[in-house]
Structure 1
């Protein structure tokens, strides 16, 4: 079967579920993954699908129809141009989180110090920081053993040196040392916001890494903020990814804890998304 003919079929099957731009993105991911061909290469040289190739595309198509994330179908994604394995045990790394990592690297690229990533998930933040900074010594915590296993595999895949530790931050009374940078992208989606979320997130990504109760939406920010206030080095900083709807509340919380220098930044979509708090 000609690839172009299958492409038309693929788009028609998904057009009532996804916008055309997203279907086009799916198609590019799949053709590059299964055929190892770029969009330009395929345009120049029409491709014939073997039965095995068609089966791969059919399987992916059926999974897309039930709104399974394309990253789970392929088993991987990219973050800061580094490849990361993903599964239903960890959040799929988001482009907006890359902005948080870039901010830290801009501020501390050449600093010789310890960095702590709390709630590491796939390990994307910790690994990208280790690879992007000259003398960082990165430790990453997570409560999930399954997530830590994936994170360790991702570190090995990218030749990063990160110390992964299983630890429940909410029951942590003190950190084992002081850090130059503490960063976290903790659970921050309130239960009341579930109705705004797409099925590919609700059905396939871990609740543990996503949701907080409506009555304690800043639970993790309060706990991590207080630990950071006690365990940051003199010139250190705390970085958070935040809920865009709770930016003011998060800023107020950090100032109440004792951080005098607090900065809010927007993500690439124009939403309040990142905070840096310094002593």
Structure 2
């Protein structure tokens, strides 16, 4: 388990991070989201030891991380860091060997990752000859090739087409299934919402929301309901305490000021005939993000 405890960082008089704390659990995919300049990359660099915090610490299972511990991390920076004039496969083997793997293990890991990420046929190509999307896949492979115990990825889905997104999603899900904590940032909230187990939302260098996807949906759920029923639904807007959000024949989304108001709609609907469905809507990550950063 990876714990970030009370991290603060200033550049001169400007605070960049203020008391940032969250946990990346074993076997959990944790999405780290925030606007540009919110503090995501700075936090990740502190976790990796690239930057030193002014206050706070990073812990593994309750013990402060040392420089030797950071060899156990796999890291993908937002800026591509591979050698452009080196062949893809050779570069991955080289990086794995730097982390102490045998030549045989390094080659086996390289073959496996390139296959999973759809790059097997590009193993002999120079990195600079790859498309930007394929360079991104190679960068992800570089973060994983040495079998790290912890994975920290800064914008891993940037520049990927839908097929590549699915390939990377599968790799990360499989990796978390081994018990590894996985932290990744992304601006693509739809991917984060689909993939992650836990969410950390940061704005202006401060954590604004933190918890499991289900817990945050429950915490920020709004009293908005959807009902499907035969016939016209215009009458729903006349019920006290109800505001129609969207309406079509046989379908309506409405805001209820109280639980009693929503139940009154259901009772009136049942008096008029059968109700096909009635449910409270779960908020999207995009709506939660908008609410907490404003």
TM-score of the two chains, using structure 2 as the length reference: 0.26
Larger radius of gyration: 2
Higher helix residue share = 1
Higher strand residue share = 2
Give the number of the structure with larger relative contact order, counting CA–CA contacts within 8 Å between residues 6 or more apart. 2
TM-score of the two chains, using structure 1 as the length reference: 0.27
